[in-house]
Amino acid sequence: VRHLILVLGDQLDLQAAAFDGFDPAQDAVWMAEVAEESTHVWSAQPRIAVFLSAMRHFAQELREAGRPLHYTRLDDQGNRCTLAAELGAAIERLQPAELVMTAPGDWRVLQALRAVAAAHRLVLDVREDRHFYATVREFAAHAKGRRGLRMEFWYRELRARHGVLMEGKEPAGGRWNFDSENRESFGAQGPQGVPQRVGFAPDQTTREVLALVRTRFGDHPGSLERFDWPVTRADALVALARFIDERLPFFGTWQDAMWPGEPWLFHAHISAALNLKLLHPREAVQAAETAWREGRAPLASVEGFIRQILGWREYVRGVYWTQMPRYAERNGLNAREDLPDFYWHGRVPMACLSDAITQTLATGYAHHIQRLMVTGLYALLLGVAPQQVHAWYLAVYVDAVEWVELPNTLGMSQYADGGVMGSKPYAASGKYLQRMSGYCKGCRFDPGQRTGAQACPFTTLYWDFLLRHEELLAQNQRMKMQVRNLARLPAAERDAIRAQAMRLRRHGGTP
């Protein structure tokens, strides 16, 4: 073998740079399903199933494309259980002259594969991942010399450079940002006319994977009962098209709203397909822009959606690769509590947490505001060690890959990076959830109360969070108002809040 092309579970694209110059007469592809990737964090069953099923479908596409493939299945006899060991054995067997791969999405995996290559005195040619608008080098150049990073500036730079939603040199509609027109709540009557979500019934390959996951990882969290994620490029394209037609027009308005029993709302549900590289972000961005230009969706919604992909998605990737490996260890708020057990089963009296966690374990999905302002917010306020929060997010979502999960969790949601991802902690009380969701109506707690038996734990912990970090937060311009409100609290009230927060911590995060 001349080149052995290494393809990981999140690199499922026939057009990837690793295949440039591929010659079926001399080159071969290597893929391996290994238990390590499902156990290094305690991965939930839907996440394992998405990866394995998508890998097996992609293997079939490689065979159909006539690319020689060496594929190890999880249930193959003698599977060595780690990527490094499987690759080492493949190298012994195939004796390639060189290893080639597209840049992986996980620092740990890159180090492991580099070590294998070095041990066999082989060149590992790591090629650009063309699934992003910008390279990590371009991001580093953007970041260089800036006192602080902000997504907004990177987003504007990319829009101008790639001519996305532009009218000449100006942003379409004369503004870069339509946030003020987005982000409504549903009001008392709840969401109306949420379209039926497109599901993909498991085919033979997926059914085999589901059976395998049940056998091998049946003790892992999550359920496979409702498994219907897209696991091929064809399915992913259908999911994108349905989103553009049915949900995109309403995406912006309801982007931050939540409602009990409504996991899907007006979101796209394409993050796993994007992260596994079944879909190209350009396809999503261009489809959204075309919908606006053809008058099928309003600019505010389209800009809001494009900002998520061209803005946030590109930004977190740049943060990850320019900050790793130390980024993963950061703990800027010195948070030391354990993650409450209920994160792994969802049985908890707080209605919002119960809904978001139960839905997450049943489907492998929660939308952004549930992740940020329910599960993430509670861990932030409780003071959970960010590395434990990170392990949970990496385990439970079908779209979880470290380059995107870690900055979102450790940075945006837990503020453990000292403000690289966001300029202030996303700290809020139960009143935020009361305003933005329908959860509180069905909950036995009162978001307006800080202390006492009816007090909403979010509200108690919010004030306790401000008290614990008063000094640090007072230095942050954007937290000034919250700190000023804190100053008005009488000493006795402060003591009562602290005592109630302490009791919550002692009871594993529940009243």
Sites of contact with ligand FAD (CB under 6 A): 267-271, 274-275, 308-309, 312-313, 316, 367-368, 371-372, 376, 393, 397, 399-400, 404-405, 408-409, 412-413
Pick the closer one to ligand FAD by CB: 224 or 285. Answer: 285
Q: How far apart are CA 270 and CA 237, in angstroms?
A: 9
Among ligand FAD, ligand SF4, none, residue 433 binds (CB under 5-8 Å by kind): ligand SF4
Print the binding letters for residues 416-435 with ligand SF4: x by CB under 6 A, - otherwise: --------------x--xx-
Contact call for residue 366 and ligand SF4 (CB under 6 A):
no
Q: How far apart are CA 276 and CA 264, in angstroms?
A: 20
Residues with Cβ within 8 Å of residue 76, at least 6 apart in sequence: none
Which amino acid belongs to residue 98?
E
Q: Which stretch binds ligand SF4 (CB under 6 A): 149-157, 193-201, 210-218, 456-464?
A: 456-464
Among 107, 155, 439, 462, binds ligand SF4 (CB under 6 A): 439
Among ligand FAD, ligand SF4, none, residue 50 binds (CB under 5-8 Å by kind): none
Among ligand FAD, ligand SF4, none, residue 500 binds (CB under 5-8 Å by kind): none
Among ligand FAD, ligand SF4, none, residue 456 binds (CB under 5-8 Å by kind): ligand SF4
How big is the chain by its Cα radius of gyration, in Å?
23
Q: How far apart are CA 228 and CA 28, in angstroms?
A: 32
Among ligand FAD, ligand SF4, none, residue 267 binds (CB under 5-8 Å by kind): ligand FAD
Q: How far apart are CA 356 and CA 195, in angstroms?
A: 20
Taking alpha carbons only, the member of 12, 234, 256 closest to residue 131 is 12
Q: How far apart are CA 406 and CA 384, in angstroms?
A: 15
CB of 398 to ligand FAD, least distance (A): 9
Among 250, 393, 445, 463, binds ligand SF4 (CB under 6 A): 445
The residue written with tokens 């532009």 in the block is 166
**SS3 call for 166:** strand
Among 259, 447, 461, 496, binds ligand SF4 (CB under 6 A): 447
Among ligand SF4, ligand FAD, none, residue 6 binds (CB under 5-8 Å by kind): none
Pick the closer one to ligand FAD by CB: 91 or 373. Answer: 373
**SS3 call for 5:** strand
10 Å CB burial of residue 187 (0-12, 13-18, 19+) is: exposed
Contact call for residue 352 and ligand SF4 (CB under 6 A):
yes
Contacts by 265-271, CB closer than 8 A, 24 or more apart = 265/191, 265/194, 265/367, 266/194, 267/367, 267/368, 268/239, 268/240, 268/243, 268/305, 269/197, 269/239, 269/243, 269/365, 270/236, 270/239, 270/240, 270/243, 271/398, 271/399, 271/404
CB of 450 to ligand SF4, least distance (A): 11
CB of 432 to ligand SF4, least distance (A): 8
**SS3 call for 167:** strand
Q: How far apart are CA 279 and CA 12, in angstroms?
A: 9
Q: Which stretch binds ligand SF4 (CB under 6 A): 166-174, 292-300, 321-329, 442-450?
A: 442-450
CB of 233 to ligand SF4, least distance (A): 39
Among 217, 251, 292, 458, binds ligand SF4 (CB under 6 A): 458
Pick the closer one to ligand FAD by CB: 87 or 274. Answer: 274
Among 335, 351, 369, 373, binds ligand SF4 (CB under 6 A): 351
Name the token pair of 420.
């690289």
CB of 119 to ligand FAD, least distance (A): 31
CB of 405 to ligand FAD, least distance (A): 3
Work out whether the CA dihedral 289, 294, 296, 301 comes out positive or negative: positive
Q: How far apart are CA 457 and CA 450, in angstroms?
A: 8
Contact call for residue 376 and ligand SF4 (CB under 6 A):
no
Contact call for residue 372 and ligand SF4 (CB under 6 A):
no
| Strands of the 98-102 sheet, one edge to the other | 69-72, 28-32, 3-6, 98-102, 124-127
Pick the closer one to ligand FAD by CB: 27 or 106. Answer: 106
Among ligand FAD, ligand SF4, none, residue 350 binds (CB under 5-8 Å by kind): ligand SF4
Among 291, 404, 443, 497, binds ligand SF4 (CB under 6 A): 443
CB of 99 to ligand FAD, least distance (A): 27
Taking alpha carbons only, the member of 511, 506, 509, 461 closest to residue 339 is 509
Name the token pair of 137.
């080098």
Contact call for residue 385 and ligand SF4 (CB under 6 A):
no
Question: Which residues contact ligand SF4 by CB under 6 A?
Answer: 350-352, 430, 433-434, 439-440, 443, 445, 447, 456-458
